Amino acid sequence: MKNCFKKLIIMFVMVLTVLSIEIIQNGTIANAATVGEQLLQPEDGWVRYDNDDSNISVNGSWAPYSMSGLYKDNQIFTGTVNSRIEFNFVGTELRLIQPQWSDGDNNVKIEIDGITEYYSQRGIEKFQTIMYEKLGMNNGVHTVKITKITNDSSYLRFDAIDIDENGILLPYNEDIVNESLNLNESFITLSEGTSEILNPTMISTVHTNKDLIWTSSNEEIAKVDQNGNVNAIKEGKAVITVQIKDTYIKATCNVTVTKKEEVKPEEPEITSAKILNVDPEKDKIKLKENVTADIVIDNIKEIAAEDMLIKYDSTKLKFINTNEVNGIKLVKKDEKDGELRVILASKGLANIVNDKKVLLKLNFQGISPGEALVNITKGKISDGIEMEKDLIKDQCGEAKIIIEDETFLDVNNDGVFTLLDLAIDARHYGEDTSSLPQYNTDIVINQAIDNDDLLKIGEYMLANPEYKLK
């Protein structure tokens, strides 16, 4: 039994070895090769042309040389100084497949579209090696000239070239018009019934966008008009091609059309009116005066719970406390400087919100003159059935409370403290301040006209430079 298991293991290893040899013989893994690596077959997406292709010109001093390990016909061209290889091609990528050899030229000149670079063929001896590559070029016509410029004992050897599979090899013409064509997208996914415009970029001294021809590989899947507008018809795949008329120059876009999804109707907006709002009992208070601001809910029905974040200007207002209202429970209150988080709940069906209602009372004290903002910045509501809704900014309200500077709130509102102000408070000493709305009698805020008010008025009188004994 053990011997059988060993034999199976040996056979499995042999199969893997054979597969590995076949992979090496037939080329490398798709799209894995780099400069300096042997590539016995073109990778996926590439096409190989042998050195005897009629579109390739070899000029200068060349000698055919045959040996095993070369591409296709087992023959290479070997050149000395001033030997040249010339061709044109339409495409975006180029590789030179050449032997690497110990006497290979170490400074080969290559010119692509008039731009010069240099590369080396020297190294450990091996055939069908990527000695040079150029990727990501414009999708257009390119001129290529390869020249041996060194006058020494090294050799320039030429076996084959690879270009991208959508490219076309052309005879050499250094005067060809520099043209290229690209699309803004190479792959798009559209839902049935939708469309998208493909915008081509064309570099040309001859043609214009009017010379572009648009086609679809399957018009039952996707159609394209002559403005590049692609319409998705039904589920499937198609290739959209745009080509410069009467040239080899083209660009493609792979289109995937997916089934039209059933779009559920969006949940309608509850309302654009204010739902949670701030309603202070006064919009103007004095320093040290207390004020109550109601948190009110409105413009909504069937609401059983609320969660909200309230911010206030803590430089002008001091938060004192909260007061619950009948039928509403303050479940949670988190307090930070200038910020309150409150969570509220209705007590039973009788207290479900169906009309304008006060939910909570907030008590503040004015501590500095100026304008203080109290606003609800975030809110969430629920009906206690299945709805839980975040409110948008426009559905949360705010209020401004003005804290007036006490130095300008004299008793009779004429802007200065004089003996008349003192006399008014003296005449009404001990009376209820609310019975005298025409006066600011409560100078030291404590809801009473008392000794503190008289003393403070006397202090302000003496500080008034316009009040003098004559």
Q: Is the pLDDT of residue 321 over 70?
A: yes
- Average pLDDT estimate for 391-403: 93
Residue spans in the chain of domains classed CATH 1.10.1330.10 = 407-463
Tokens of 155: 């050799």
Which pLDDT value is given to residue 18? 42
What is the SS3 assignment for 422?
helix
Q: Are 141 and 114 in contact (CB under 8 A)?
A: no
In angstroms, what CA-CA distances link 465 with 8, 178, 469? 114, 89, 11
Residues of the chain with CATH 2.60.120.260: 46-170
Give the pLDDT of residue 17: 43
pLDDT range class, residue 30, cuts 50, 70, 90? very low
What is the fold, at CATH topology level, of the domain defined by 407-463?
Answer: Type 1 dockerin domain (1.10.1330)
Instruction: Name the 3-class secondary structure at 461.
Output: helix
For residue 314, the model assigns a pLDDT of 93
Per-residue confidence band for 44, with pLDDT thresholds at 50, 70 and 90:
very high
pLDDT band at 267 (very low <50, low <70, confident <90, very high): very low
How far apart CA 208 and CA 212 sit, in angstroms, is 8
CATH node for 46-170: 2.60.120.260
- The whole-angstrom separation of Cα 355 and Cα 345 is 15
Intervals of CATH 2.60.40.680 along the chain: 276-404
Mean pLDDT of 387-415: 86
pLDDT in tens, 354-365: 999 999 999 998
Report the distance separating Cα 147 and Cα 144, nearest Å: 10
CA distance 125 to 104: 9
pLDDT of residue 139: 81
CATH number of 180-258: 2.60.40.1080
Distance CA 456, CA 50 (A): 107
In the chain, what is the greatest distance between 2 CA atoms, to the nearest angstrom?
131
Cβ atoms of 293 and 364 within 8 Å: the answer is yes
The pLDDT value recorded for residue 21 is 40
The two beta strands, 156-158 and 84-91, are unpaired
Rounded to whole angstroms, the Cα distance separating 212 from 183 reads 12
Does 440 score more than 60 pLDDT?
A: yes
Would you give the end-to-end CA distance of the chain in angstroms? 131
Beta strands 62-66 and 180-183 are unpaired
Query: CB atoms < 10 A from the CB of 297, how many?
Result: 23
Structure tokens at 223: 């159609």
Q: How far apart are CA 108 and CA 118, in angstroms?
A: 5
Q: Is the pLDDT of residue 444 over 90?
A: no
Q: Is the pLDDT of residue 165 over 80?
A: yes
Helical spans, DSSP H, in 353-432 = 419-427
For 211, the enclosing helix (H) or strand (E) is none
Q: Does the domain made of 276-404 have the CATH classification 3.20.20.140?
A: no
437 has a pLDDT exceeding 50: yes
In the structure, what pLDDT confidence band is assigned to residue 407 with cuts at 50, 70 and 90?
A: low
- Phi then psi dihedrals of residue 57, to 5 deg: -105, 135
Domain with CATH 2.60.40.1080 in the chain: 180-258
